[in-house]
Amino acid sequence: MIEFDIPNYRRIDLKLYEKEKRKLLIELVKLQDWIIQEKKKIAVVFEGRDTAGKTGSISVLSKYLIPKHCRLVKLGIPTENESKNWFQRYEKQMPETGELVFFDRSWYTRALVEATMGYCTKRQYKSFMKKVIPWEERFMENDTKILKFYLSIEKGTQKMRIEKRKNSPLVYWKISENDLKGLDRWDIFTLYKEQMFKNTSYPEAPWIVLNANDKKIAVLHALRYILGTFDYPNKDLPKPKIWTENINDYSLTINKVPFNNLSYQQYKVLKVMADEE
């Protein structure tokens, strides 16, 4: 398991974030060109608790990529047959030649959500944990690169995000009964998460843990890690700059009221009350 963290990003303001994001997305387009030309196969997994920012992160990363060679996989509730033949369900979703595939939750749903909520049997869980590494290795032997991100958030952050969604006229529909049950089963989920890290993280496909209490910074970290993993033509990935906290250029919105020209410290204090984006 790798806890990937760039300390300089903790001090970035909104304008510099947008500038850094644009630079990294340009590099991601270059990477995709290389994937297409060299006929590579890349699978990028995003796992994490509800509200961790999986869907939003993938949306940012994939925004400017060529749709024909980029795919989002977000599967719904499995059928009884799919539940019994778990790996087959995902086998058909793995990347083809020249394709980059993002998984918004993946085959690891069995190790996390299904185990936590009791949607699979103990036998199914144990079978998954025993077979998952050989299953992944089979794809890697066939030149498929697998990157596994886990977006980590604190309990207070999840609680706050759920409350914001419940009270939002735009995204209230994102909250389900399962989200609330998941919050109640925080410690059980944590137990299965640690088991997953311990038993399914290995040198060829380690778990990359990103702090997602700030979704924007998590996006930058994911981009940096992906780009740093591959050597592609015309790569231009300079080290992150050192930004200062003494910039009165932070902005956010609380109850539809904009607050501008905030200091970093003011931004940190008010951020917990900011409107859901």
CA distance 247 to 262: 8
- Is 202 within 8 Å of 129 (Cβ atoms)? no
Helix (H/G/I), strand (E/B), else coil: 91:
helix
Burial 138-176 (b: 16+ CB within 10 A, else e): ebeeeebbbbbbbbbbeeebbebbbebbeeeeeeeebbe
Both tokens of 80, joined, read: 């009884």
Q: What is the pLDDT of residue 247?
A: 47
Both tokens of 176, joined, read: 């389900």
Q: State which H helix or E strand residue 139 sits in.
A: helix 122-141
- Is 48 within 8 Å of 150 (Cβ atoms)? yes
For residue 114, count other CB atoms closer than 10 A to its CB: 20
Per residue of the chain (277 residues), what is the pLDDT tens digit? 899 988 888 778 888 899 999 999 999 999 999 999 999 999 999 999 999 999 999 999 999 999 999 999 999 999 999 999 999 999 999 999 999 999 999 999 999 999 999 999 999 999 999 999 999 999 999 999 999 999 999 999 999 998 888 888 887 777 777 777 777 899 999 999 999 999 999 999 999 999 999 999 999 999 999 999 999 999 998 887 765 544 455 567 787 788 776 655 566 667 667 776 5
CA distance 54 to 33: 24
- Is 217 within 8 Å of 211 (Cβ atoms)? yes
Unique residue bearing structure tokens 């410690």: 187
What are the structural domains, with CATH classification, of the chain?
Answer: 2-243 (3.40.50.300), 247-277 (no CATH)
CA distance 149 to 100: 15
CB burial of residue 61 (10 Å; 0-12, 13-18, 19+): buried
- Is 65 within 8 Å of 35 (Cβ atoms)? no
Q: What is the pLDDT of residue 245?
A: 46
